[in-house]
Amino acid sequence: MKPRTPIAPFALLIFFSSSITYCFAGNVTYDSRSLIINGRRELIISAAIHYPRSVPGMWPGLVQQAKEGGVNTIESYVFWNGHELSPGKYYFGGRFNLVKFIKIIQQARMYMILRIGPFVAAEYNYGGIPVWLHYIPGTVFRNDTEPFKYHMQKFMTLIVDMMKREKLFASQGGPIILAQVENEYGYYESFYGEGGKRYALWAAKMAVAQNIGVPWIMCQQFDTPDPVINTCNSFYCDQFTPHSPSMPKIWTENWPGWFKTFGGRDPHRPSEDIAFSVARFFQKGGSVHNYYMYHGGTNFGRTAGGPFITTSYDYEAPIDEYGLPRNPKWGHLKELHGAIKLCEHALLNGERSNLSLGSSQEADVYADSSGACAAFLANMDDKNDKTVVFRNVSYHLPAWSVSILPDCKKVVFNTANVRAQSSTVEMVPENLQPSEASPDNGSKGLKWQVFKEIAGIWGEADFVKSGFVDHINTTKDTTDYLWYTTSIIVNENEEFLKNGSRPVLLIESKGHALHAFANQELQGSASGNGTHPPFKYKNPISLKAGKNEIALLSMTVGLQNAGPFYEWVGAGITSVKITGFNSGTLDLSTYSWTYKIGLQGEHLGIYNPGYRNNINWVSTMEPPKNQPLTWYKAVVKQPPGDEPIGLDMLKMGKGLAWLNGEEIGRYWPRKSRKSSPHDECVQECDYRGKFNPDKCITGCGEPSQRWYHIPRSWFKPSENILVIFEEKGGDPTKITFSIRKISGFPK
């Protein structure tokens, strides 16, 4: 008999047109099958959307886009370092207005998973923990040390009390159905020894004592004490088992893509594979699933961690960085969610049975006494399609796929059969135009104002010390920049002065990057990479007879965000030598070094539209090109239309950008490079088989990030002040806005 696979292509459309309403309840409990909300078992399909990685003007659209994609829950971390700027000094405005974000979710009639942490990892600077906490004596992060536990509990209690005051827990009629304490601690607990075990137990008990009326979870913790539920983070969690048989199976992080690093390639995860992993999870009894990320967003300002995490945190998520649906992924997952929800009653109330359909093929069937029946037919073979017989009917199963049969008869969805329409995204350039409100509007082009930083010490030195200090311990992350400056005397009899050769400057640094100057002239730059920040610099240096000033600008590019004892990882210069002198190598490492924290422009706040300091800006129609340590400012028009906007920095070097005082973030169109001999880009990705971040990479030899998201809400109708700080030199006349346009899929 010819294989046949009954398909019901319109079932999902009927389901979504009728569709999803959620009532907030006064009671959230659980059993081994699922969460029980208002006395009813429910499947939870959740979407991670981090409120600080977008702006309030985007929140309603992001939440609605997720809901239209078949999601019923929004998940987010709480970002401690964005809220407690110094001990006891709190901020909950702008992008950090947590209550406003949750109330938008509530208004959309959706649930919320609040991962209070307060450690988040998340490729976020310092893992979301405030830098100031590291400098309180006796503190070891995530360990049984009293200062850490005191401040962690204080912040968690603040957040819990805020949620209670606003009646946002489900026990109060709000949307929050789960809360998380700590995050992924099980990965590192063994490194912390007995102190780590005591801390994890303390954190769980402390959370439960908060009495919020909804269950607590602890992500990736293998020995969570009852009643805290442990959860799974991975690319595949179908075989995950909770630590207690009375607890539901929860997947807090299913990664639909991966993050990018400056200098790294562009990783992708195919729609077919992410759908396969989700279907397998529900097939094997999962009931709470969260995409990390569903909308990745943007690491505005200096919030990216890593080091070397890009400003873009797009994550190849179903909703892209700019808030547009990424198709076919968004549409394919929407169909998947509809198919799974059609199975909800049987999945949560039926008895499960497993049938072998072949060597790598199986069926999981859920049926109850009412006659409800749902089946998942899986082909785990990563190379070969198979035809199987289930209940006397033949079904064709593509390799590495799951077919979903909500009535145990008809296939409404197969993970490898992508029917969603693809979309094409373009970044359409829009030249910077002078503002109509600008006094220069009558001129032929854009007028720039330029300010050049001094290479080395500006103003009074912060301190002088023999040898080198740690960069992070010195700046305490108040800036990316730290100047190390010294001077040497070159004898006029040095051979290199006579024969035209040049000595060689040798620098070793713990990271993350540096620019070397001699007598105010840039000699060269160097940096680590996304995996190994330590690096060596080796370049000729131009010296003259007499006194020579050596100025080294050390830079951080986001602080460590995870790992055991990650807060103790340092940065900065560790050795400086110059070879080529008549007497041999000159070691400057023990010299007296003068230090200055940050840039003069930062100190003066010249990126702020309302700054009042006098500064020697130079006005010009032809701004200097390839000039290091230069601030550029222009007053520009808002690009036309209402589509999202990116700033194209392809022709610039490295630095920071602001619009109207808002921090766009770090830019660095650094080209990608191999991290290993086997690290190759692909033309087309094979979705079949276990996924890893290096499986489907593109962008070899291209900038890791060219465009930098500027939210529309940051623009003013007329006068917009764009400020750029360029570290090593670029061409500001080539900076453009780019309008992000999507085609091939209806808005």
The mean-pLDDT minimum among 7-16, 36-45, 158-167, 693-702 falls in: 7-16
The mean-pLDDT minimum among 9-23, 342-356, 572-586 falls in: 9-23
Q: Which CATH superfamily is domain 463-598 in?
A: Galactose-binding domain-like (2.60.120.260)
Q: List, for residues 344-365, the tens digit of each pLDDT value.
A: 999 999 999 999 999 999 999 9
Cα pseudo-dihedral 351, 354, 357, 361, rounded to 10: 110
* Mean pLDDT along residues 128-157: 98
List C-alpha distances in Å: 270 to 45, 293, 424, 622, 651: 19, 14, 16, 46, 31
- Tell me what pLDDT residue 683 has: 84
- Which band of pLDDT confidence, cut at 50, 70 and 90, is reported for residue 6? very low
By the 8 A CB rule, do 710 and 645 touch? yes
- Which band of pLDDT confidence, cut at 50, 70 and 90, is reported for residue 677? low
- Whole-prediction pTM value? 0.94
Q: What rounded mean pLDDT belongs to the chain?
A: 93
Q: List, for residues 264-310, the tens digit of each pLDDT value.
A: 999 999 999 999 999 999 999 999 999 999 999 999 999 999 999 99
Helix (H, G, I), strand (E, B) or coil at 204: helix
Q: pLDDT > 90: what percent of the chain?
A: 88
Q: Burial code of 285-322, b = ≥16 C-beta within 10 A, e = fewer?
A: bbbbbbbbbbbbbbbbbbbbbbbbbbbbbbbbbbbbbb
Closest C-alpha to 404, from 415, 394, 396: 415
- Which band of pLDDT confidence, cut at 50, 70 and 90, is reported for residue 12? very low
Q: List, for residues 426-446, the tens digit of each pLDDT value.
A: 999 999 999 875 555 445 689
Q: In the 3-class helix/strand/coil scheme, how is 551-565 assigned residue by residue?
A: EEEEECCCCECCCCC
pLDDT at 18 over 60: no
- Tell me what pLDDT residue 26 has: 73
In terms of residues, how long is the chain?
Answer: 747
pLDDT at 19 over 80: no
Question: Is 184 tagged catalytic?
Answer: yes
d(CA 251, CA 237): 7
List C-alpha distances in Å: 40 to 27, 28, 34: 10, 9, 9
**Cis before 307 (ω within 30):** yes
- Tell me what pLDDT residue 15 has: 39
* Mean pLDDT along residues 396-403: 98
- Tell me what pLDDT residue 222 has: 81
Query: Which of 253, 272, 453, 727 is labelled catalytic?
Result: 253
* Mean pLDDT along residues 375-401: 98
d(CA 352, CA 614): 74
Q: List, for residues 448-460, the tens digit of each pLDDT value.
A: 999 999 999 999 9
List C-alpha distances in Å: 664 to 78, 648, 669: 21, 12, 15
Provide DSSP, 345-367.
HHHHHSEEEEEE-SSSEEEEEEE
Residue 437's DSSP bridge partners are none
Query: Which of 184, 430, 567, 662 is labelled catalytic?
Result: 184
pLDDT at 1 over 50: no
By the 8 A CB rule, do 721 and 608 touch? no
Q: List, for residues 209-255, the tens digit of each pLDDT value.
A: 999 999 999 998 888 889 999 999 999 999 999 989 999 999 999 99
The span from the first CA to the last CA of the chain, in angstroms, equals: 43
Question: Is 253 tagged catalytic?
Answer: yes
d(CA 397, CA 3): 10
Q: List, for residues 458-489, the tens digit of each pLDDT value.
A: 999 999 999 999 999 999 999 999 999 999 99
d(CA 722, CA 401): 49
Q: Which long-range contacts (CB under 8 A, 24 or more apart) does 28-31 make?
A: 28/170, 28/171, 28/177, 28/178, 28/213, 28/214, 28/215, 29/215, 30/215, 30/229, 30/247, 30/248, 31/246, 31/248
pLDDT at 509 over 80: yes
- Which band of pLDDT confidence, cut at 50, 70 and 90, is reported for residue 140? very high
- Tell me what pLDDT residue 7 has: 39
Q: In this structure, what token pair is assigned to residue 534?
A: 């330590």
d(CA 79, CA 119): 8
Q: List, for residues 34-44, the tens digit of each pLDDT value.
A: 999 999 999 99
Which part of the chain is CATH 2.60.120.260? 424-451+607-669+704-743, 463-598
- The yes/no answer on whether domain 424-451+607-669+704-743 falls in CATH 2.60.120.260 is yes
Q: List the beta strands (DSSP E) in 70-215.
A: 73-77, 84-86, 89-90, 111-117, 176-181
Q: CATH fold of 31-342, please?
A: TIM Barrel (3.20.20)
d(CA 588, CA 37): 67
Which part of the chain is CATH 3.20.20.80? 31-342
